Structure 1
């Protein structure tokens, strides 16, 4: 191990471990490659490269370019970058590249809970607006969800929807006491912060006797949600409205849901109070939040790292752009959510289900 005194210091400055320094530099270089790969994944998704590789098997850059209607130099360099990152394999004798079956599921099967392009699209859209977040960090202000580029809104749905598709009807709703029975008989449900309506439409498809009201403060997302409901044929039992959580339309709801949005709100306590007023006496508030522990050290792992990154660049600025600006953060943890629910007038709180990416909370009066 080689050492060197840290430059620009005097006295008993700690010696630098040069091997550790170079190991960190090489790790950082790898992360630069990973940063650029976010753009490459989005490019490969939007150009159809992954889908073509999954369908056609081992291929050359020229073949990939011809089948996808793109220029060969881009296909060639993209394939080489994907091979260097382990996303595809390369066979030198044949000059062909292969997308392994596991990567094919993660990169092309949109209903799989392992589907990843939406996460990359969300991340790339988030970093696109870095200059605005820099200004907000210096001023103490915020930057609203509605102000971000479309890749943020589309990528968010594409990332979370596969988990909702896999778990919402089969696992999460059954984990709530008595809720499925109500939905099967015919319940009134509010889906607050519905975004593009993925969660609302999934519930409406599963429970045709129930009625659903999706709401979001972002008019463009509500317009998409209305189209999604029409495409799914559930317009007869779903309506979408432009409203903030504090303006939750209606009352007497048997179930109010919030999917991955409570931490984004400027005034989550005010939202909790409104949910309490809007619920039927025996109603249930289901809150689905990003998976997190209550202590920082509980979240120092790859999923927590990604969520802390989104929290810094997307979720915290969104909260600070609104009234109150509580800024819970994406890794708020169940204890802080319990505090919000208690302050909002709720008395019962339980964590009832979880995945690597989400925690499901049952909150009742």
Structure 2
């Protein structure tokens, strides 16, 4: 990159016009490094729609299943126009999302990239994260107005099918961690589930977490609650598609402060911080637990201070929190707006305020922390 001292020569300013001494106090190496970072960020932002396009058109799956292809070969396989594919493939290669072989002119999806873009059962499948970018863009006018008014943006009013993208983003983590490590980290819970326990999954969304548990523990009964009717409709559809009996797994519309029943285990996956009144929810969960029952709270991983969260995962969660979590909470009663990076200390305070005497971190992943609360 040319020196910043000479870069103004191409700005179109009239010859001899006064110019600010932009180099004064500026470390050019740091400036150029930051420009490089921003260019990478812009490239990533521009890429999100192209990644979701590749998913929607089945291009990643076609390359995964049928191997490397030229634009013409991929056109024949996918039914898409070659000229559009040539540009898309070129972008994907420039992004290192695909590998390009100049000798053959073919583009390939490496197995590592397939884990992220094409294998829905992969623990690092991230297509839901890319889908959320589109929801953020559509949601921006509503959130901008909320910035000025201080009001919230209701979950059901978020851009596109944001709740679909959220469900798709978190599902791989549930599939690969919930039964394998999270539930075993709780005190005596797996044994109860194996013998037969009653479970409420509060804030269940599309029901992926509920169904993961139901498949693993056929002697137990499960009910998923969510305040968003469309999500409950989707959850019932997922259950029916898996052939699970409604007598053993059902989904109902209810809030975290009014769901009915009494349970051996209550779970909340990535939703406590979204609630308007998480302390009130904690109190209701405490009342709904049977003697000796447990509450499992899965939340985004976070430290207790901003400095601890200044990292790539914190960056993603603060962005989602600004556009989704805080507006959703502020649209509800109380509007506590804990945010997606509330941290264990703040979450524990809220949980204890509901009447729980014990709160501990039972497990964690790069994306989540698992808290266990008991009376």
Q: Which moved more, 1:202-211 or 1:262-271?
A: 202-211
Which residue of the other structure, out of 115, 123, 130, is the alignment partner of 1:113?
A: 123
Residue equivalent to 2:335:
325
Would you say the 8 A contact 2:137–2:159 is kept in 1?
A: no
Residue equivalent to 2:254:
243
Aligned to 1:59, the other structure's residue is in SS state coil
Shift of 1:239: 1.1
Rounded Cα–Cα distance in structure 1 between residues aligned with 2:315 and 2:268: 23
Rounded Cα–Cα distance in structure 1 between residues aligned with 2:327 and 2:78: 38
Residue equivalent to 1:36:
46
Residue equivalent to 1:180:
190
Rounded Cα–Cα distance in structure 1 between residues aligned with 2:119 and 2:367: 18
Would you say the 8 A contact 1:215–1:241 is kept in 2?
A: yes
Residue equivalent to 2:9:
none
Would you say the 8 A contact 1:192–1:257 is kept in 2?
A: yes
Per-residue CA deviation, residues 121-156 of structure 1 (Å, 9 max, x unaligned), is 123222221111000011111111111234312211
Would you say the 8 A contact 1:294–1:334 is kept in 2?
A: yes
Q: Please report the TM-score for the alignment, with normalisation by the length of structure 2.
A: 0.92
Q: Which moved more, 1:254-263 or 1:240-249?
A: 240-249
1:156 aligns with 2:163: no
Per-residue CA deviation, residues 167-206 of structure 1 (Å, 9 max, x unaligned), is 1111111111011111111111100000000011111111
Per-residue CA deviation, residues 311-330 of structure 1 (Å, 9 max, x unaligned), is 11111111111111111110
Q: Please report the TM-score for the alignment, with normalisation by the length of structure 1.
A: 0.95
Mind listing any 5+ residue stretches in structure 2 that lack a counterpart?
Answer: 6-18
Shift of 1:3: 7.8
Rounded Cα–Cα distance in structure 1 between residues aligned with 2:210 and 2:248: 10
Shift of 1:27: 2.2
Would you say the 8 A contact 2:199–2:266 is kept in 1?
A: yes
Rounded Cα–Cα distance in structure 2 between residues aligned with 1:280 and 1:19: 62
Structure 1 pair 16–266 and aligned structure 2 pair: CA distance change class (3 A)? same
Rounded Cα–Cα distance in structure 2 between residues aligned with 1:18 and 1:179: 58
Aligned to 2:26, the other structure's residue is in SS state strand
Aligned to 2:161, the other structure's residue is in SS state helix
Residue equivalent to 2:148:
138
Shift of 1:118: 1.2
**What does 1:291-310 align with in structure 2 at a 5 Å threshold?**
291-310=301-320
1:103 aligns with 2:113: yes
Q: Which moved more, 1:326-335 or 1:18-27?
A: 18-27
Rounded Cα–Cα distance in structure 2 between residues aligned with 1:151 and 1:44: 18
Aligned to 2:152, the other structure's residue is in SS state coil
Which residue of the other structure, out of 326, 338, 350, is the alignment partner of 1:316?
A: 326
Rounded Cα–Cα distance in structure 1 between residues aligned with 2:271 and 2:365: 17
1:90 aligns with 2:100: yes
Residue equivalent to 2:371:
361
Rounded Cα–Cα distance in structure 1 between residues aligned with 2:228 and 2:20: 51
Aligned to 1:28, the other structure's residue is in SS state helix
Which residue of the other structure, out of 128, 133, 144, is the alignment partner of 2:138?
A: 128
1:347 aligns with 2:352: no
Would you say the 8 A contact 2:134–2:160 is kept in 1?
A: no
Shift of 1:37: 0.8
Shift of 1:8: 6.3
Per-residue CA deviation, residues 82-111 of structure 1 (Å, 9 max, x unaligned), is 111111111122211111111112211111
Rounded Cα–Cα distance in structure 2 between residues aligned with 1:268 and 1:354: 21
Equivalent residue pairs, number: 360
Shift of 1:61: 1.0
